[in-house]
A = this chain, B = another copy of it.
Amino acid sequence: MTTENPMQLGMVGLGRMGANLVRRLMRDGHSCVAYDVNPTAVDDLAKEGATGASSLQDFVEKLEQPRTVWLMLPAAIVDSTLDQLVPLLEPGDTVIDGGNSYYRDDITRAQRLVTENLHYVDCGTSGGVWGLDRGYCLMIGGETEVVSRLDPIFKTIAPGKGSAEPTPGRTSTDGTAPDGYLHCGPSGAGHFVKMVHNGVEYGMMAAIAEGLSIIKHADAGKTDRTVDAETTPLRDPWAYQYDINVGEVAEVWRRGSVVGSWLVDLIADAFARSPELDDFSGRVSDSGEGRWTVLAAVDEGVPAPVITASLYERFESRQLGEFTDQILSAMRSEFGGHAEKK
């Protein structure tokens, strides 16, 4: 496939995501200028056809006006990078933040850049390590004309129509959503939608994980529970006598079932590689979007018990509830003389 409208794009940040975006763009006929604080990352991409830049100054000089700069950076260093980059840019240039910024920062940054006659586009990018081949789902915020001008870039990065069956009830032929990218609204709208996307992701992941765990423990009746006042007896041990292969369950759910999803595909793969998931201890990080989704739900007054439960489940996986639990034990000791079981 080759784009009909080749453009030039500059990429700052050549980690896994940034580098693969450059590769996907070049494959489709766009030209890229690539910069990273790590020169090896630059060299690697230069060997693959990108124009390497040795400094931000050099990077900006190698871009034609109006420039298009895509930042693919940890959220924590976007602002400091902008502090260096903005003075080098010229009116009409555009900065795209493709990382995981908080959408409120987008609003602030866009207001700041507009005073310099620069454009700012926020672009939530989903696809993980698979995006190079599958394409990335793009959720975009910013001025309509600017987003329109960048259409060939987004079209190339996105998965494209062929990546899923057409939606049967869709009669409208307008819009880019069926291509896998969407202009969601003004500044921040892209990262807002991406933020909620990740909140949904937390919830879906937790639903699948809880379910598979319940299946795993369908053998609960085979083990004798301690008989003491601190332990709930299992009333119907005969009903929990199953040894079910959880990995095979994930595999079978991939086809024809209502829960069929990419996440089920992935966990089937993980079980295929490691049937006991021995490589994982169960400390689950959360990187911001889940928390922000909950904050938005609370601000808006929208009940979000499922997404919130999935966030707290991650907190619990890292023992962040320990003090709460100590208090509970202390109360039980106080009123009932219950000692903790070791």
Residues of B close to A218: CB separation below 8 A: 189, 192, 296, 300
Most buried by B among A164, A255, A300: A255
Question: Does A286 have its Cβ within 8 Å of any Cβ on chain B?
Answer: yes
Residues A209 and B283 in contact in the complex (CB < 8 Å), given A220-B300, A249-B184, A291-B298 = no
Some 14 contacts from A to B, beta carbons below 8 A apart, are A75-B233, A100-B229, A127-B256, A135-B255, A168-B269, A178-B251, A186-B242, A206-B305, A235-B299, A240-B299, A282-B325, A302-B324, A305-B310, A313-B324
Question: Does A185 have its Cβ within 8 Å of any Cβ on chain B?
Answer: yes
Stretch touching chain B among A43-51, A56-64, A334-342: A334-342
Q: Is the CB of A210 within 8 A of B203?
A: yes
The A294-309 residues at the B interface (CB cut-off 8 A) are 294-309
CA separation between A193 and B218, bound complex, in Å? 10
Interface size for A (C-beta < 8 A) is 175
Query: What are the interface flags for A195-222 relative to B under an 8 Å C-beta threshold, 1 for contact and 0 otherwise?
Result: 0111111111111111111111110100
Q: Is the CB of A214 within 8 A of B300?
A: yes
The A237-258 residues at the B interface (CB cut-off 8 A) are 238-245, 248-249, 251-258
Residues A277 and B327 in contact in the complex (CB < 8 Å), given A182-B248, A284-B332, A285-B230 = yes
* Closest beta carbon of chain B to A330's beta carbon, Å: 4
Question: Does A288 have its Cβ within 8 Å of any Cβ on chain B?
Answer: yes
* Closest beta carbon of chain B to A201's beta carbon, Å: 5
Query: Per a CB cutoff under 8 Å, which of B131, B138, B196, B286 touches A215?
Result: B196
* Closest beta carbon of chain B to A36's beta carbon, Å: 15
Q: Is the CB of B272 within 8 A of A172?
A: yes
Question: Does A85 have its Cβ within 8 Å of any Cβ on chain B?
Answer: no
Closest 7 CB pairs of A and B: A203-B207, A261-B261, A282-B325, A180-B255, A137-B257, A200-B211, A177-B251
CA separation between A274 and B286, bound complex, in Å? 33
Residues of B close to A310: CB separation below 8 A: 207, 305-306
